[in-house]
Structure 1
Amino acid sequence: MKISVLLSRARKNWPAKVLSIAAAVVLVLFHNYSRLESRDLSVPLRLELPSGYVPAAPFADRVRLTLRGEADEIFRISEQDLDVFADLSGQTSEGAFRVPVQVQKLGTAIGIDPLEIGIDPMHVMVRLGQQITREVDIVPNLSGYPPPGYQLGSYAISPAQVAVTGPRERVAGIESIQTEEINVAGRTESFVMQVRLSRPSPLVSIPGGEIVEFRASIEESVVLTTFDQVEVVILNLAPALQIESEPETGFIRLQGGGQELEGLSPSDMQLIVDASDIDSPGTYELSTRPVLPAGFLVLRYEPMFVELSVTE
């Protein structure tokens, strides 16, 4: 009797009772959900590529993940605990492909529950190109000038060539690759330095490494200068003889280091005439020779001969 009464009461207004139970369940779930917190995380996107193919155009290489779970748990998750990837390994030709972004939990993230992961964007567009490799010359990117009196002499890069690899349409047009800027301004001595290569495109890589060695020789600059008003000096003339008129001044054209030439003047040099062979009055044509400080190359001088009228 009691059981039948209970069953009768249970059946009475049963739709309302079911709704009440459902509402209670929803309230419990909502309460549990409301306790969860969110955290945004930006992570790199890894591409699983088919053999012999690489990205041929820039693509969205980072993905925003929204983690939802217990606050203490989701803030333990680092970028290394989530492997975000797009699988293109099944593609067998060049072209543009739209593929889903996937997430695999690693490390700390594996044991966290509840954990919801939202992905933005959910798909990524990647254009694939055939991968090729070629050897290209390395060209130094020089800037600036040594100070006055110095010049850049010989220079060399080691290695002189480097292999570059990437999508066919990018690599095929590369004839050479530049270094980053090498500034020689203010340098007065030879030097050796390590310098990085400038990749012509983010899609092109340098498998052998991006650092090369640059060697340069800094030399004193060679300057050509002409000195006018150089005195012509007569030496070794016999005491009983004399010159009717002194010869006119001449000029000397020199080659030498810029700094040394800057400190030189016509008074530091002479055109010498040796008159030791003259023993009587008359007219003589004698050769001249330049006399000046050491370290300079005489390119030309005038007069090379002078005519002297000698009297007693």
Structure 2
Amino acid sequence: MKTKQLFEKLTENWQAKVICFGLALGLYVVHITSILDRKTYTVPLKVVADGGMYPMSDYPEYVRITVRSTAENIAETLQSDFTATIDLTKYEKEGSFSVPVSVHLSPKLLLMDPFEIKLNPESVSMRLEEKTLKYVSVAPSLSGEVPHGYAVTKMSVEPATVEIVGPRRAVDETKQVYTSAIDVTALTSPKTFEASLQNINSLLAINPAKSYTVHVDVAEEPLVKKFTDVPVRLLFLPEALEAEGESPKISFDVAGTVPTLEDYELSESAVYADCSAIDKVGTYDLPVHITLPSYFQIENQSAETVNVAVRVRRETQSESAGR
């Protein structure tokens, strides 16, 4: 009897009681919502491509995760507590797909209540192609210019190749990858640099070695300088004798390098003929001597010898006539 009376009491005016319960629940929800704080985190988006497909189109590098919870909970929440991924493992055919973004929370966040998250975007549209792998060469990337008079003669990278992974077409079109920029502005001698790799195609993954070494050979640029109609000095001619007419002249080229030869000028005694063996009037065929620094080479010399006519010095003749 008592149970029946209790049931009748509970069901009496049940419509009003349901309405009151709903209003109370609504007020509770409004109250809880009003005391919740909000904070947005920008989280890197990781692509899991362990299957046979790989993204061929660009995709966002980050997603935004908005959290609603109590101030105490949000104060304990860090960006590192979230991991955002898109998993391509289940896709087996090429085509365009809307791939959902998955968010993984750290264990401490799972214990927080209330704790709500909102993800933007919730899915990513991308085109998938067959995943391909190949090895390509590594090319050094230079910045700046070596000083005037110098030139880069050779470059090499170690290791010389690198593995790239990505969608079929992007991999097929990639012939080489480049190192990070190496500044050669002040380089005047060979040098070895440590370098990383730059990925010029965001669709490709590069599996580099721990480090790359780039060896750059630099040498002085060659230069050939022409010397034309250079007077041949006649040295060691006895005082009583003199050469008739103007001094003989020759032309020649000097081979060297830009830094050493560009501003080089001949000294007055650089080109000469040795007259020390002459002791009387006559005509002589004398070898030409050219004195230059050892790092120069003489080329295209117009004459190896010069013809010199020697006579008695006029002052000497006048003195003899006066006597």
Unaligned stretches of 5+ residues in structure 1: none
Shift of 1:238: 5.4
Amino acid corresponding to residue 291 of structure 1 in structure 2: T
Q: Against the structure 1 CA distance between its residues 141 and 279, is the aligned structure 2 distance closer, same or farther, given a 3 Å change threshold? A: same
Q: Between Structure 1 and Structure 2, how many residues are aligned?
A: 311
Distance 1:108 1:221 in 2: 67
* CA distance, structure 2, for counterparts of residue 4 and residue 206 of structure 1: 77
Contact 2:53 2:91 in 1 (8 A): no
Please state whether the residue corresponding to 1:83 is helix, strand or coil.
Answer: strand
CA distance in 2 between partners of 1:11 and 1:155 (Å): 92
8 Å contact kept, 1:50–1:92: no
Q: How does 1:49-60 map to 2 (within 5 A)?
A: 49-60=49-60
Structure 2 CA distance for partners of 1:51 and 1:236, relative to 1, 3 Å: same
Deviation readout 1:250-306 (Å, 9 max, x if unpaired):
334212233333553232553222345555543333331212333311123334332
CA–CA distance in 2 between the matches of 1:149 and 1:226?
18
Unaligned ranges ≥5, structure 2:
313-323
Question: Displacement, 1:201?
Answer: 0.6
Q: Match of 1:171, SS?
A: helix
3-state SS, counterpart of residue 30 of structure 1: helix
1:19-41 Cα deviation digits (max 9, x unpaired): 33432232223212222222212
* 1:207 to 1:69, Cα distance in 2 relative to 1, 3 A: same
Distance 1:86-1:217 versus aligned 2 partners, 3 A rule: closer
* Structure 1 residue matching 2:173: 3-state secondary structure: coil
Per the alignment, in what secondary structure is the counterpart of residue 295 of structure 1? coil
1:71 correspondence with 2:74 = no
The question of 1:120 aligning with 2:120 is answered yes
CA distance in 2, matches of 1:86, 1:244: 98
Counterparts of 1:147 and 1:75, CA distance in 2: 57
2:27 is the counterpart of 1:35: no
Match of 2:109 in 1: 109
Q: CA deviation at 1:79?
A: 2.7
Contact 1:138-1:157 within 8 A present in 2 as well: yes
Measured after TM superposition, the shift of residue 232 of structure 1 is 0.8
1:160-171 → structure 2 map (5 Å cutoff): 160-171=160-171
CA distance in 1, matches of 2:140, 2:149: 23
> Which TM-score applies when normalising by structure 2?
0.82
Distance 1:114-1:273 versus aligned 2 partners, 3 A rule: same
Match of 1:285 in 2: 285
Report the TM-score, using the length of structure 1 for normalisation.
0.85
- Cα pair distance change 1:223/1:163, threshold 3 Å: same
Partner residue in 2 for 1:144: 144
